Chains A and B, each alone.
Chain A
Amino acid sequence: MISIRGIRKRFGDHQALDGVELEVPAGTVQGLLGPNGAGKTTTVRVLTTLLVPDSGEAVVAGHSAITDGHAVRRNLGVSGQYAAVDEKLTGFENLTMVGELYGMRRREAKARARELLRDFRLDDVADGKRAGAYSGGMRRRLDLAGAIVARPPVVILDEPTTGLDPRGRRDTWDAIESLASGGTTVLLTTQYLEEADQLADSIAVIDAGRIIAEGTASQLKAQAGGGRIDIVLGADADLDDARVAIRSVGHDVHIDERSRRLTSPAHDGEDALLAVLQALRGARVPVAEAALRQPTLDEVFLQLTGAPAETEPALEEVPA
């Protein structure tokens, strides 16, 4: 449903996209995961026909985004990290306008706007209140609703939860999940592995304008060396005993003495955790905390690129 082949785009000295390749089958949710400046927004701008790449091809719903922009726009809904809603209009007026601009009749657009406001739980505020007075989460939901006014087969969401509080993020996730369950093809960019994990069927990792890995969340985590075991002890005196015990069951261990934390790689997941805990009990070492942790985006990145990801939730900057 979305096909990106060898897209390149250079802004001055900066090669923003360096041969991006990506296939998104119909009815799936594709995550595009990467740090700031990796090329996520630039990719989105090509797919949404806002930017013409230097070379390569992008096909959305069977139409070229480069040569047949109008046909692509007819089949596409877009929602961006900046929630581009008209602050002076109410939510209802915003959605009605977008519906009309998709070619709906006014009456039809109004009915659709009401329906969406209900679905996105904005109907109690949307009539009287201007969008400028909405909270960040509400604006984002309104922007998201605008993307699906015309029930497009493809929806592209550029960092839909960046800058939202946890509650707003949860609400936006719910909205995206219900969209995906309706059979819409979704491409979603994000800086958060957790978010891609939660929403996407498949995740592509982008860095420096190239796709460097693709797969499900668990495949990516496995590539990053699986999880790790975290043990925190109650007393400093037990650290040496704990080290010996963990090594005895065949695990490397890294000790942070100040926090009394022992960390070991856990390639075989919960079996490794059980083995370590049994070894500690055998050595009579009291354990304050024990956890099996999934790798973070940082660790996935470190593994894939050899450089730590920038996880600041700052805005992505792409020179124009």
Chain B
Amino acid sequence: MSLVGALRDGGIVARRNITGVRRTPGALVTGVAQPIIFVLILAFVFGGALGGDDYRQFLIGGILAQTLTFNSSFTAVYLAKDLQTGLIDRFRALPMSRVGVILGRTTSDLLTSVISIVVIIACGLLIGWRIDAGIGQVVVTFLLLLLYAFAISWIGAFIAMTARSVEVAQSLGLLWLFPVCFISGAFVSADMLPGPLRAIAEWNPVTAVATAVRQGFGNAPPSGFAAAGGWPAENALLYATLCCVAIIAIFAPIAVAQYRRISKR
């Protein structure tokens, strides 16, 4: 299947998805409320013990990485719903690209992530978080966030294609997010974690994205935090980008392979 065909069909499906989201905006409440709740809990419940005002500068990069990771569960649920209603069967019987349906979903779900990013930035500014970097660096940081949101969405797509039902996609799509987001340097410095967890956290893509975002926005860690060392921390932007590319390279083919084989009943 040609790349042009995939992009064209992906665009048609993405437009259809966005129309659907626009008509049921209630589904976006989670995408908006969840980052607000996380910002407030971490800034004011745990944040006091972790460095107060300094911690808030540190926190926003982590919240961004964590929220975008969580947003992959929207992809999983939406696709599982299309599978369950038989719409995917309809698409599979059309002479369209085999990548189109999933590509359309992962693309349109970027809209949810853009909304999440805007909400977090606004929340951060309200609690005293500031950007301290040049415009070029800030633009690159936003691009990284979008790339990461797109990449992680393919994992959600793979979960939907494997789970086949909305209920299973919903629970599986959330379950893996907790260890991945919390055994990371999203909310504390990776070096504060014990032994093996530290190694996992240092190489965790969520850590890489959070670190790259902090560096991009010029947010220094609180003085009490051990400076994160190691290659991934020192090359956070490069490593985060490589992670995104690797995630797409792994999950896009297996999600599409599942799509080709899947049958609703």
Contact = CB atoms under 8 A, between A and B. Distances in A.
Interface of A: 41, 45, 48-51, 70, 73-74, 76, 78, 80, 82, 84-89, 93, 97-98, 100-103, 130, 146, 317-320
Contact of A89 (B1, B16, B92, B94): B16
A100 B95 CA distance: 10
A86 B87 contact: yes
B58 to A, nearest CB: 40
B96 A101 contact: yes
Interface of B: 1, 9, 12, 16, 19-20, 23-24, 85-87, 89-96, 100, 263-265
A88 B23 contact: yes
B20 A88 contact: yes
A97 B86 contact: no
A84 B263 contact: no
B90 A146 contact: yes
A102 B20 contact: no
Contacts of A82: 85-86
A309 to B, nearest CB: 22
A73 B94 contact: yes
The DSSP consensus for interface residues of chain A is: loop
B95 A103 contact: yes
Contact of B265 (A48, A100, A103, A320): A320
Nearest to B96: A101
A223 to B, nearest CB: 32
A84 B23 contact: no
A70 to B, nearest CB: 6
Nearest to B90: A84
A191 to B, nearest CB: 17
B95 A97 contact: no
Contacts of B12: 97, 100-101
Contacts of A74: 95
Contacts of B92: 49-50
Given A93-B19, A101-B12, 19 more contacts: A50-B89, A70-B1, A73-B94, A80-B86, A82-B86, A84-B85, A84-B87, A86-B20, A87-B85, A88-B19, A88-B23, A89-B19, A97-B16, A101-B91, A101-B100, A102-B96, A103-B95, A318-B265, A320-B264
Contact of B263 (A70, A73, A320): A320
A170 to B, nearest CB: 24
Contact of A49 (B9, B19, B93): B93
B107 to A, nearest CB: 15
B93 A48 contact: yes
B20 A73 contact: no
A105 to B, nearest CB: 11
Contacts of B90: 78, 80, 84, 98, 146
A85 B16 CA distance: 12
Contacts of A45: 263
A225 B124 CA distance: 82
Contact of A78 (B87, B93, B264): B93
11 contacts: A50-B89, A78-B93, A84-B90, A86-B87, A88-B23, A88-B24, A97-B12, A100-B12, A101-B9, A102-B96, A317-B265
